[in-house]
Structure formats: structure tokens, C-alpha cells
């Protein structure tokens, strides 16, 4: 071997070693990090001002830097939807529902544009889409529209071009081209729906809370954060007044088996609560030990009674068909035992629907020959939720005994396999929640 050949071989060996120092870690990283498609949702508190929007943009940039595809769904800035609704009510009360959707959907348009610009300022390409641009096709039930279909082609094209996609939550468009909104918390639903059509690897919902709690921490100081909760329990908690997740979003996630990670903005890398299948929870033994997962309260309730309704076939159908035509959602219904061919029908509705429901009930009373109507707005629904109720008896008795000790009167009762709900007076809400939480989590809950 000549000296020249020996030196050339040494040079190539040195080059290979130098390249290996750079390339090998990258190969190893690629092997250990699988690129993902992630849908993230940021609520109003997360985008409440320019500084907050900057933090969200940095969180997104950190994930995009790792190579993940990111679709971010945003709500309106905190307080903006309420401000817009207040403006509408100054003009017309109750507001025209179609025009109200036009007004309140503008909040998400602003936040999506601001977030997109901030992401671009950090050196990442991004594009924002509104509901009609995606497009998220809904029915025409204004203020509470249901999603019919999503055309994800523009999202996929943008992702394929390496862009971060920002979607305005809460909104869609009906087949006539009218702007629609998806109801309170509708951005959660937007995120879950997009995650389902894209086949996303994860759906992360960033909130201004640490996760899902056993009760509202602002009401009950002893509330504990839940690491996991099943869809069924979360759906009941959401429908019973827990404001962390929209009930329809949980229902859709359950239908398509999409795990939801509810995470705090101050810990973007983890923490929070996982909402998933019951089979993905703890072992059957440990699940059976926990009777109750949470205590929820909903002050957004009103109660209506149609008194001395003729006890005839079809009368109940006519009452609730008319309420449905008025777009009123009915929750609890109680009909008492017939006396002298008449009975009373009592039901609860969301407080936002109270005026329309009361007007409809008054007209119905005349048309069906009922005596009169009565109403009460200042009520609350208190609920116990837990899959452990399926295998434990006596939960209702303990609930009623606890409320009795606190001298809290129960006005209505409703039950399901994993939930017991009671209607109480609004001023008794917090004492009821604390007493029930102490009973089921303060030593007697196992």
C-alpha cells in the first residue's frame, strides 16, 4: 500500500466518522419519533389577548418543529361572544337567531386570523379557514346547528404543503349558504369533528383549567382532578352542567372512538385528563371501587308547569312537539298521577330558552284546555355521576339523606343508569354540591 493510498483511506474514514456524528442521532430520532397529525383546540381564555395568543403560537410552533402536522381550532377571545350577544340584545330581544349567528361567529374569525399571523411571525407557514371555507356543512338550526359533513380537502392540501392550519371553531354553513353556529362550547365539537374526518392521531383540548375535576373547584375546595374518565361519565357530566367540555363533542368522540386529552395551557406537554373508552380505564376491580366520579351543578335551568292538563292520549305529544318546533330543548319531565281526569306536566328547559318556552306553554295551555301555566327561573340541577352506580345500590338514598340533612328541598328527580339528578332552588346550589362531594369523596365514597 502506498503512502498516498493510506492517507486517502484515512481521510475517507475521518469523513465517515464526522458524518456519522451528525446523521446517526437524526436517524435514531426518526426511528423513535413517529410523526403525527394532531388536532388542537384552544378556548377563549387561551386566546384572551395578544400575549395569550403568542403563547398559543409558541406551543403550536414547538409541535410543528418536531415535524407533526398541526390543525388548531380556536374559540373567540374570552368575553367576546358575550359582548356580541349583548349588542344583539340591545337591538332585538330575543334576537333573530339567523342574524345572531352572523354576529357571534365573527369572534372566531378574529382570533383565527390573529393566531395565524403570530405563527407566521415565528417563521412557520400557516393558513386560517372559516367554517364556510373548510367547509363545515350543518343543518339550519341556528344557535345550535348539527354538523352534517366536512369537506377536509383544503385542510389536507395545506397540511401536505407543510402549513399549520388554523380553523375558526363554533361555526359552519348550511346548504343555503347561511352562517350557523354550533351552540355554547361548539369549538370543542369543531375540533372533534375535524379529528374524526382527518383520522388524527390525537385531539388535544387546551383549557384554562388543570383538567376534569370531581366537582367545580371554585365551589368545592376538596375537588380532585381525574386522570381518566370514560366517555359515558363525561357525557353525563357535560349534560349535567360541567362546562369543561361540550356534551355533543363528547358524544361524537365516543361515536368515533377519539381519545380526548383535556390539558391546561400552563402544561402543554402533558397533565390534564384523558377521556376515553371505559375499557381503557383502570382495572375492573379498581373501577368498581369508585362509586361516583363527579358532582355537577347546572344553574342554567328554568322550570315550567302546565296545570290540569286533560288526561287524554296524544296530549303530551302535542305539548312537546310544539316545544320542539320552537327549537326548545327539554331536559327533565315529570307528569303527576291523574286526578279527576287531569294532571300536571312539569318540565325544565335551558334558561336561554325560557321566554320562548313560556310563550309556547301559554299558547298550548289554551289549545289543549289546560287550566294555567306556572314557571320558576331560579333553579339548579344537581347531579351525581359514576359508572359505579351500575353495581352499587343505595346511592340515591345516600344522596337524598345528605340533601335532607342540609335542609335542601328536592323539587324534581331524574335518573339514568349512571346519573341521579335533582332540581333544587338556585341559592342552594353550592351547599348541595359541597355536601354531596363530602359524602361521596370525603371518606364515604368508596
What pLDDT does residue 104 have?
Answer: 97
What is the 8-class DSSP label of residue 208? S
What pLDDT does residue 326 have?
Answer: 87
Instruction: Note whether 223 and 216 are within 8 A (CB).
Output: yes
Check whether 138 has a pLDDT greater than 50. Answer: yes
How confident is the model over 160-173, as a mean pLDDT? 97
Spatial separation of the C-alpha atoms in residues 180 and 78, rounded to whole Å: 20
Check whether 55 has a pLDDT greater than 90. Answer: yes
Pull the grid cell for residue 407. 335542609
**pLDDT grade for 391, boundaries at 50, 70 and 90:** confident
Cα–Cα distances in angstroms (integers) from residue 350 to residues 153, 327, 334, 403, in the given order = 37, 11, 16, 24
Instruction: Note whether 281 and 230 are within 8 A (CB).
Output: yes
Q: How many CB atoms lie within 10 A of CB 60?
A: 26
Q: H/E element holding 149?
A: strand 147-150
**pLDDT grade for 35, boundaries at 50, 70 and 90:** low
What is the spatial order of strands in the sheet that 179-181 belongs to?
147-150, 136-138, 171-173, 179-181
What pLDDT does residue 409 have?
Answer: 96
What pLDDT does residue 275 have?
Answer: 95
What pLDDT does residue 194 have?
Answer: 98
| Whole-number percent of the chain with pLDDT over 70 | 88
What pLDDT does residue 340 have?
Answer: 84
What pLDDT does residue 299 have?
Answer: 92
Spatial separation of the C-alpha atoms in residues 200 and 72, rounded to whole Å: 12
Sign for the CA dihedral angle at 181, 183, 186, 190 comes to negative
Instruction: Note whether 225 and 271 are within 8 A (CB).
Output: no
| Whole-number percent of the chain with pLDDT over 90 | 74
What pLDDT does residue 271 have?
Answer: 83
Residue 221 exposed, middle or buried by CB count within 10 Å (0-12, 13-18, 19+): exposed
Check whether 157 has a pLDDT greater than 70. Answer: yes
Check whether 444 has a pLDDT greater than 50. Answer: no
Spatial separation of the C-alpha atoms in residues 414 and 112, rounded to whole Å: 41
Closest residue by Cα to residue 124 from 201, 60, 194: 60
Cα–Cα distances in angstroms (integers) from residue 220 to residues 246, 266, 293, 295, 438, in the given order = 21, 22, 14, 10, 9
Pull the grid cell for residue 138. 350543518
The per-residue pLDDT of the chain, averaged, comes to: 88
How confident is the model over 401-413, as a mean pLDDT? 96
What pLDDT does residue 294 have?
Answer: 94
Check whether 328 has a pLDDT greater than 80. Answer: yes
* 67 vs 9 pLDDT, higher one: 67
**pLDDT grade for 3, boundaries at 50, 70 and 90:** very low
pLDDT per residue as tens digits for the range 240-255: 878 789 999 999 999 9
According to DSSP, the residues that pair with 416 across neighbouring strands are 419
The angle subtended at Cα 24 by Cα 20 and Cα 28, nearest 5°, is 175
How confident is the model over 215-227, as a mean pLDDT? 92
pLDDT per residue as tens digits for the range 82-126: 999 999 999 999 899 999 999 999 999 999 999 999 999 999 999
What pLDDT does residue 338 have?
Answer: 73
Check whether 377 has a pLDDT greater than 50. Answer: yes
Pull the grid cell for residue 24. 446517526
Amino acid at each position: 500500500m502506498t503512502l498516498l493510498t493510506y492517507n486517502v483511506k484515512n481521510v475517507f474514514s475521518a469523513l465517515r466518522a464526522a458524518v456519522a456524528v451528525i446523521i446517526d442521532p437524526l436517524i435514531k430520532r426518526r426511528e423513535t419519533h413517529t410523526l403525527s397529525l394532531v388536532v388542537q383546540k384552544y378556548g377563549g381564555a387561551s386566546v384572551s389577548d395578544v400575549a395569550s395568543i403568542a403563547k398559543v403560537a409558541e406551543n403550536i410552533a414547538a409541535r410543528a418543529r418536531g415535524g407533526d402536522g398541526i390543525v388548531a381550532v380556536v374559540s373567540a377571545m374570552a368575553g367576546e361572544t358575550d359582548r356580541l350577544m349583548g349588542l344583539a340584545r340591545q337591538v332585538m330581544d330575543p334576537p333573530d337567531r339567523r342574524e345572531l349567528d352572523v354576529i357571534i361567529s365573527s369572534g372566531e374569525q378574529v382570533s383565527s386570523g390573529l393566531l395565524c399571523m403570530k405563527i407566521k411571525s415565528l417563521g412557520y407557514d400557516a393558513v386560517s379557514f372559516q367554517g364556510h371555507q373548510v367547509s363545515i356543512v350543518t343543518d339550519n338550526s341556528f344557535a345550535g346547528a348539527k354538523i352534517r359533513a366536512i369537506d377536509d380537502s383544503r385542510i389536507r392540501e395545506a397540511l401536505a404543503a407543510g402549513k399549520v392550519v388554523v380553523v375558526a371553531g363554533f361555526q359552519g354553513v348550511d346548504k343555503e349558504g347561511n352562517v350557523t353556529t354550533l351552540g355554547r362550547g361548539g369549538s370543542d365539537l369543531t375540533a372533534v369533528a375535524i379529528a374524526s374526518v382527518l383520522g388524527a392521531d390525537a385531539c388535544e383540548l387546551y383549557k384554562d383549567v388543570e383538567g376534569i375535576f370531581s366537582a367545580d373547584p371554585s365551589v368545592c375546595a376538596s375537588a380532585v382532578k381525574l386522570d381518566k374518565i370514560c366517555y359515558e361519565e363525561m357525557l353525563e357530566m357535560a349534560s349535567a352542567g360541567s362546562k369543561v367540555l361540550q356534551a355533543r363533542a363528547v358524544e361524537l368522540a365516543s361515536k368515533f372512538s377519539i381519545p380526548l386529552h383535556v390539558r391546561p395551557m400552563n402544561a402543554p406537554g402533558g397533565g390534564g385528563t384523558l377521556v376515553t373508552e371505559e375499557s381503557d380505564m383502570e382495572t375492573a376491580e379498581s373501577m368498581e371501587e369508585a362509586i361516583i366520579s363527579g358532582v355537577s351543578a347546572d344553574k342554567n335551568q328554568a322550570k315550567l308547569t302546565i296545570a290540569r292538563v286533560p288526561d287524554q292520549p296524544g296530549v303530551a305529544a302535542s305539548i312537546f312537539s310544539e316545544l320542539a318546533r320552537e327549537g326548545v330543548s327539554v331536559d327533565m319531565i315529570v307528569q303527576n298521577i291523574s286526578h279527576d281526569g287531569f294532571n300536571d306536566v312539569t318540565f325544565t328547559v335551558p334558561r336561554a330558552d325560557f321566554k320562548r318556552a313560556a310563550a309556547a306553554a301559554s299558547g298550548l295551555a289554551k289549545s289543549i284546555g289546560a287550566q294555567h301555566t306556572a314557571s320558576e327561573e331560579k333553579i339548579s340541577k344537581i347531579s351525581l355521576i359514576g359508572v359505579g352506580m351500575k353495581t352499587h345500590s343505595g346511592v340515591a338514598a345516600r344522596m337524598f339523606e345528605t340533601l335532607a340533612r342540609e335542609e335542601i328541598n328536592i323539587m324534581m328527580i331524574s335518573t339514568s343508569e349512571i346519573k341521579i339528578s335533582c332540581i333544587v332552588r338556585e341559592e342552594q346550589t353550592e351547599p348541595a354540591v359541597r355536601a354531596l362531594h363530602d359524602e361521596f369523596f370525603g371518606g364515604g365514597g368508596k
